[in-house]
Each structure stands twice: as structure tokens, then as C-alpha cells.
Structure 1
Amino acid sequence: MLRTKHKRTLSLRHYSLKSLKILFVLLISAIATPAHAHEPLFGLGPHTIYKGGVGIEVAVEGERASNSDEKERELSLHTEIMYGITENLAVTLATPLVLKKSHDEGSGEDNSSGIGDITLRTKYRFWNHDSPGTKDSAALIIGIKLPTGEDGKTPKLGTGSTDFIFGLTAARESLRWYYFGDIRYRLNTRGSGNMKKGNRVFADLAIGIRAWATEYLKPDLVFMAEVNWESLMRDELNGADLNDSGGNRLFFSPSFFFTYRNWAIKGGVQIPLYQNLYGDQAEDKYRFKISVETHL
């Protein structure tokens, strides 16, 4: 009887110790999993979200462009919702509300506002390697832009075409430093009025540094510097190239990324370093973006 009782006591202790070990491992795993992954503000990184997770980002974006005869301004409110299908596969829905203003010396000022073109994209992280103090990852991006913005207004709120996005992105991250690179191709189709916007190539490089060493669930600040390249092919109308379209742009883009628990605030500005636009086009003066993001 005493032996049986003793065996039961030992069994209970063993079970309790085993349960505590399992609980400890789960807690460590939860602490080690970041609520937010730091990514470039203007480029794209390879991070996804955990299975069943939902990420919501609301961003204010603006830009200004001008030449000798024309001035253009655009302000938009972008809402992005990301859902984790698996830990390596996520889908994102991006919906913009757009306000555009253009001023031409000959025709005066035009204003338009409303919903812009909605984008749906998927990100598949096919490589995810952890080593002491370093994390390497890479992902494929496929997306589609839908013609939801009204193209009958002046200025147009959308391109009137269904376009496709293909991309590859990779990153190396440590406790102190971040490195990112991506390349994307946007294949534009013919829209209303037999107009086809030129296809586009985007290439981005970014480096980031954590401002100070911090513990998990403590405020965290990362500064980033990006270089963003855009190559635009000429637009076509009725199969003929338009002279005042296409070209190349290069931007330098400083930004910050502040996180606290499951909230993040990001902001930055794109400064044009080089612009070679074909024909007579308005050149970019600046672009900016500031956003708030949370993971549920």
C-alpha cells in the first residue's frame, strides 16, 4: 500500500515536472516570436504573419510633381489587411482612398477623389533559416491590381486596366542590423480608351540599424535607409508609343520603424536623386508615407 502510494506520488511529480517543462518551452517560444517584423517602408520584405493571424495597416501617402507648365499633387489613405494562410503564406488586400489635384497653365486646376485601384497580393516565404544571432529569409510575391478606380475623372483615379505583379525579396537580419533587397515587375494590360500604361520594374535595397538594444515587449526603434529604382516603359495608345511617357527614377529614402508590443508606427520620405523622364513630364519633388500597423 505504501509502495503504491509512493509510486503514485513519484508519478505525479514526474508529470508535474514534465508539464512545467512543456509550459516553459511554450513561454520561451511565445517570447521569441516577434509581434512585428521590421521591413522597408517603400520596398517589400519577405516577412509573413503567423497562421490565422491578421495584420492591419493604415497609411497616409503623398507625392508632389511638377514641370514648367504643370503641377500635380496626390494624397491617399491606404488600408492594408494581411491574413496568414500558413506561417509561410500570406495574402494582403490593399484599398486606397485617393485625392488628386493637378494645375495646368493652360486649362487651370482639376480635382478628383474616390477609391483608387485595389490590389490583392500573395507572399510565399520559401526560405527561412535561423542561425545564432542571424535570420535569413526569402519570398516570392504575386499580385493583381484591379481597375476599381474611376478613370473617367480628371485627374484619373485608376488606370482602367487589370495589371499583374511579380516579385522576389530577400533579407538578412540580426539583433542590430537589417539588410533587404527586392525586385518587382508590373505587367500592365490595355485599359479603357485603348490605352496601355507602360510596364514597370522596381528594385530596392535597404539597410537598417536598431537604435538601442531592447528586450521583447519594450519600445523598439529601427532606422532605415533605402535606395529605390523605378524603370517605366512608354505608354501606348492604339498601339503607338506616347512620347511624353516612360523613363527612370532613383530615390534615396530615409525612414523609421517604432514598435511597442503589437503596434507599430512607420514613416519616411523619398527624395529623388536621379530622374530621366522621356518627353515633357512632371518630375517628382518628393514622396512621403506614414502609417500605423497592428497585428491581431
Structure 2
Amino acid sequence: MKSNCFIRFCVVACISLIFFTINQDGIYACDLCSLGGFGGTTGAINPISAESPKKNKYTLGYVLEYQDWGSVDVHKAHELHEEGRDAHARKNDISNSVFLGYGITDAFSISLQVPYVERRSREVHEHDLLGEDQKSTGLGDSILLGKYKFYDKQFGLAGIFGLKVPTGTTDERNEAGEKFEPELQPGTGSLDYMLGISANKKFNHLIILDGSLLYHLKTEGDQDYEFGDIIRATIGATFNVIDKEKKPTLNLLSEVISQFANKDEREGETVRDSGGTTIFFAPGISSQLTEQLKTTLSVPVPVFQALGGEHQELDFSVLFGMSYSF
């Protein structure tokens, strides 16, 4: 009975958030998809599990995130730019992150994630370079998170809190020497705050449910630009195909990610072509290769995108994580 109540709670919460966001105005990608360093049941990707590293235990890992964007007509994008619109022609974004998690107690853990970001696009602003490939690379913004598990009986509940620190590069320039727009910079220049909650439930040795709800409060960064606040809800299931007592294990993952963002602001003015809702379905696999080594592969695919104004759609993402606990 208690297990059934937990399932109903997770389903209702996820559906409620989807219906809440479905009439909003659009977002570009899965912001904060690759949060690692907390261990948990489904690896280093999604969601942020209520499970934590044990006291005095470390988790060292690597996360690769690849985002592929739908193609756009560079001439149309250039015309929109000339009209004062926020137009881009992104090709793909790649983030390589390292993270370190530490269990201060069995219930309280902290994690630091540091990314190196590469953004590829085509020029749409400068007429003489129209359509040419451009690349922006550099250190991304670091993420420092804490997690406290405050309930662990019929299911687990943990509070999440953190900071996104402006360690990223914000002065990358195109071939004409012009500074890239904030969306195309590796970093943002803003100090952001995160607060959320996560839950997990083990039904038996075969099925585990995880869910998380995270609010990302953003502040003004470089170029007087402020990205919109984000609400992100994730619910995921892990199905153990090969028993966890045997190594390596094999798990099938299934996740739904619903993400809503407010519109951005530039110099205090609302950016029309920003903000909104994206819903992802993310199938994946994970494996506990040894007692210490875990890998996860997930492919978040957008199944609903309500983009604000004229904005590119995301085709798909690929997330790969590897973590070592000691």
C-alpha cells in the first residue's frame, strides 16, 4: 500500500508539472542535465538521487554532455538579427566535466563539478562572415552542491542546495573580433543559486524510482545579460537486468525531464526570443563494473518544445558519466 502511494505521488507530481509548464514560452536545452558527484542509484546523470556517498567516502568522476541543434537558415537568422532579435545558428555544444563528491556524514554530502565547454555555431551577425563556422571554447561555470538526506524509512528524501560559480570564460570572440553573444560563451559571469528536493524508493532488488525537483535562481552576468530562472523536474526508473550482487551489473534507465525557464533579460529589458518549456524522454543504461567503478549512458530526446519567439530546437543530447568511489 505504501509503495502504491509513493508511485501515485511521483506520477501525479510529474504530470502536474508538465501541465503547469505546457502553456509557457520555450527553452533551449537541458540546463543542468549533467550534475555528477552524488553517487546514487542511476549513476552520474539524472536525476539527483536521494542516495549519498557514505561518510568519509569520495566519488571522483567524469561527465560528457553533447547537445545537437536543429539546422536554421542563416540568411533568415541574419535578417532577424538586423531587426534586433536574438537569433543564432548553433550547431552543437560539448561539455567535458570532472566532479568530486564527498560524504561528510552518511546523510550529508557535497559535490564540485568543473566543466570545459566547446560551442560550435555558424555566423549570423557579421554579413561578411555569414554562414561561416565559429567556435567558442573555455572553462565553464563550476557547480557546488550540497545534499542532506533527512528521511530514510519507507522511501528516501533529501534536500538539495548549491551555487553556480562564475568561473567560466566570458570573453570569447568570433573571427571578426566581435564578442560572442552570452548564449554562445562558455561561461555566464553570473553567481546563481539552486534549491531542490529529491526522492527515491527501492521496491525490490529489481526496480528503483528516483525523482527530483530543482529551482535554479539566476542573476545578472556578463554583457548585462540575465538568463531566466529555471524549474526542472525529473522522474526516473532503474530496472536491474543483471543482479546487483554480480559484477558487472546491467541496468536499464528510463527518465522524463520537464524543464521550464523564465525569459532572459538584457540591460533590464525582456529578451523576446528566450524562455519556456522543454520535456525530454531519456532512455539509458548503466553498469556497476566493479564495487567502485560505475558508468552511465543516457540520451535525452526532446518530445515537446514550446520555444519563445524565434529560437532553435534541440535535436537530441547524449550524456555519458563514469564515477569511481573510494
Deviation digits for residues 244-294 of structure 1, max 9, x if unmatched?
Answer: 111110010001110021111111101110000111111110101112111
> Where does residue 65 of structure 1 map in the other structure?
69
> Where does residue 8 of structure 2 map in the other structure?
none
Q: Which has the larger radius of gyration?
A: 1
Q: Do structure 1's residue 49 and structure 2's residue 67 form an aligned pair?
A: no
Tell me the TM-score normalised to structure 2 length: 0.75
> Where does residue 100 of structure 1 map in the other structure?
119
Deviation digits for residues 36-90 of structure 1, max 9, x if unmatched?
Answer: 6412633211111111110011111110113423233111111110011111000
Mapped partners of 1:193, 1:156: distance in 2: 11
Mapped partners of 2:58, 2:131: distance in 1: 46
Out of 237, 240, 246, the residue aligned to residue 210 of structure 1 is 240
Q: Is the 8 A contact 1:67 1:281 kept in 2?
A: no
Q: More strand per residue: 1 or 2?
A: 1
> Where does residue 33 of structure 1 map in the other structure?
none
Mapped partners of 1:37, 1:167: distance in 2: 16
> Where does residue 110 of structure 1 map in the other structure?
134
Mapped partners of 2:131, 2:49: distance in 1: 42
| Secondary structure of residue in 2 paired with 1:81 | strand
> Where does residue 16 of structure 1 map in the other structure?
none
Mapped partners of 1:114, 1:38: distance in 2: 31
Q: Do structure 1's residue 38 and structure 2's residue 67 form an aligned pair?
A: no
Gaps of 5+ in 2: 1-38, 74-88, 125-129, 173-179
CA drift of 1:193 comes to: 2.2
> Where does residue 85 of structure 1 map in the other structure?
104
> Where does residue 11 of structure 2 map in the other structure?
none
Mapped partners of 2:56, 2:131: distance in 1: 51
Mapped partners of 2:323, 2:188: distance in 1: 28
Mapped partners of 1:44, 1:263: distance in 2: 18
Aligned length in residues: 255
Mapped partners of 2:71, 2:272: distance in 1: 16
| Secondary structure of residue in 2 paired with 1:211 | strand
Out of 249, 273, 276, the residue aligned to residue 247 of structure 1 is 276
> Where does residue 229 of structure 2 map in the other structure?
199
What is the letter of the counterpart of residue 53 of structure 1? K
What is the letter of the counterpart of residue 97 of structure 2? H
What is the letter of the counterpart of residue 141 of structure 1? I
Mapped partners of 1:243, 1:108: distance in 2: 26
> Where does residue 206 of structure 2 map in the other structure?
176
> Where does residue 266 of structure 2 map in the other structure?
237
Mapped partners of 2:274, 2:95: distance in 1: 23
CA drift of 1:142 comes to: 0.3
Mapped partners of 1:38, 1:45: distance in 2: 7
> Where does residue 144 of structure 1 map in the other structure?
163
> Where does residue 32 of structure 1 map in the other structure?
none
Mapped partners of 1:89, 1:37: distance in 2: 13
Deviation digits for residues 91-140 of structure 1, max 9, x if unmatched?
Answer: 000000111111135353221212100010000011112xxxxx621100
Mapped partners of 1:85, 1:284: distance in 2: 38
How large is the Cα RMSD of the aligned pairs? Answer: 1.5
Deviation digits for residues 193-239 of structure 1, max 9, x if unmatched?
Answer: 22111000101111121103342x63211111000011011000121
Out of 119, 122, 127, the residue aligned to residue 151 of structure 2 is 127
| Secondary structure of residue in 1 paired with 2:141 | coil
Percent sequence identity is 25
Q: Do structure 1's residue 284 and structure 2's residue 287 form an aligned pair?
A: no
Mapped partners of 2:218, 2:313: distance in 1: 22
Higher relative contact order (CA 8 A, sep 6+): 2
What is the letter of the counterpart of residue 52 of structure 1? N
| Secondary structure of residue in 1 paired with 2:300 | strand
Gaps of 5+ in 1: 1-35, 130-134
Mapped partners of 1:107, 1:150: distance in 2: 24
